[in-house]
Amino acid sequence: MRIGLVCPYAFDVPGGVQFHIRDLAEWLIAAGHDVSVLAPIDKDTDVPDYYVSAGGSFPVPYNGSTARLCFGPGAAKRTQRWLTGGNFDVIHIHEPLTPSLGMIALWQAEVPIVATFHSNQSRSRAMWTMRLPFQPMLDKITAPIAVSSEARRTIVEHLGANPAIIPNGVQLSAFAVEPKAEWAGTRITGDAKRPVISFLARLDEPRKGLPVLAGAIPRVLERYPGARFLIAGRGEAEKERAELAAVGDAVTFLGPLSEADKAALFASSDIYVASQTGGESFGIVLVEAMGGGSSVIASGITAFRDVLDQGRAGDLFDVNDSASLASTIMTVLERDPADKTERDRYVEQWRGQYDWDSVGRRIVATYEYCLRAGVPDDDGGWFPAAWKFGGDSR
């Protein structure tokens, strides 16, 4: 198939959606498909050769963060040129309601359209306002996909849609790497007195939960004075750095990590902590940490509960509660070896559904049934391609 993927966000500040699209493109190419990705690409940004630039990007506050989007007459002309020259069998638009290339492509495309919704939003006035005037555009979507139950809820509540759930994918084999000696924790060294607990997220976004972890660290160190905390991600986090100065070498701020170092971090850690307080639609980093063999502790937001099978594939703590996080960390560190072995066996089976070989096949099946006038529903059956947005969204 000739497949056109549309990315709404620029790569100069990469995030989960960009990585998902890149990895999907590479999986599709390896499977023998002809793929082109349309994206905002700023000058001198290094991207794979199957990317096509729709122009530079602009910073726009969006969904609790700042996204770099692409719009305007120039972007519209380049999108039309890409659509015309690509001769695509199917277009796969990511975040079609974000005011960027996806919306432009949705308006212009005349071939079957698959749309993936990634974001999780509570009641959004903007989405409600957009629903009626954008109804003709929404009706062009042949097959809707949501990456999680939270992303699906957002679309159901705001647009009355019925998307299938196909999760984000992870190339699990990429995380089966050697640990770094300077980071290696108990499961590598065998030194139970020096466990390593890691954290990876944007440090300057409060909803990513670094303040929650910072509040838990002194409590953990009271019982495990040899514990080490590796904190990685973009942002300065001056307040948390000042608060944690008192614990000295127990905390190391690593800054942004390369993909290779991220994999090594998970392979080196005893525990990976995801202390986000909300706004997450999926939680791909939890699957990546599982792929590296780290035990996962996450806040009990719905998206993380789903990824961790309601606590069977990882441990959950009370949202925005440092004391609950500290207690959960110590519970995991003190887990009976037989229980840990059983948990590890379950995690290895559970995480397989997120591997790209599984996710990619489901997406290709969606393309194929889209072309044959059928699209998948969440239960594995099929509903007619005449699906439309609409209905009761209360």
- The domain locations on the chain are 2-169+355-384, 172-354
The DSSP code for 67 is E
Supply the angle between the helices 356-371 and 16-30 in degrees, to the nearest 10: 80
The backbone torsions φ and ψ at residue 67, rounded to the nearest 5 degrees and listed phi first, read -105, 150
- Amino acid identity of 24? L
As a whole number of angstroms, the distance between CA 118 and CA 392 comes to: 21
If the chain, 394 residues long, is cut into consecutive pieces of 10 residues, what is the mean pLDDT of each piece?
95 81 96 96 86 87 72 93 96 91 92 88 59 72 88 78 88 94 92 95 93 97 97 92 93 95 97 94 92 97 94 97 98 94 94 94 92 58 42 34
Contact 146, 164 (CB under 8 A): yes
Check: pTM over 0.85? Answer yes or no: no
What is d(CA 230, CA 254) in angstroms, rounded to the nearest whole number? 7
Which DSSP helix (H) or strand (E) runs through 103? helix 101-108
d(CA 250, CA 272): 16
Give the orientation angle of helix 284-291 with respect to helix 16-30, to 10 degrees.
60
Which run of H or E residues covers position 91? strand 90-94
φ/ψ of residue 48, rounded to 5: -60, 160
State whether residue 316 is helix, strand or coil. strand
Furthest-apart CA pair in the chain: how many Å?
A: 64
Task: Write down the pLDDT at residue 128.
Answer: 54
Element of type H or E holding 153: helix 149-159
Fold entry, domain 172-354:
Rossmann fold (3.40.50)
Residue 163 phi/psi, 5-degree rounding, is -75, 150
Cβ-Cβ contacts under 8 Å for 162 (sequence gap 6 or more):
144, 156, 377, 383, 387, 391
CATH of domain 2-169+355-384: 3.40.50.2000
Q: How high is the pLDDT of residue 266?
A: 98
CB 166 within 8 A of CB 147: yes
Backbone angles phi, psi at 234, to 5 degrees: -75, 155
Tell me if domain 2-169+355-384 and domain 172-354 are identical in fold. Answer: yes
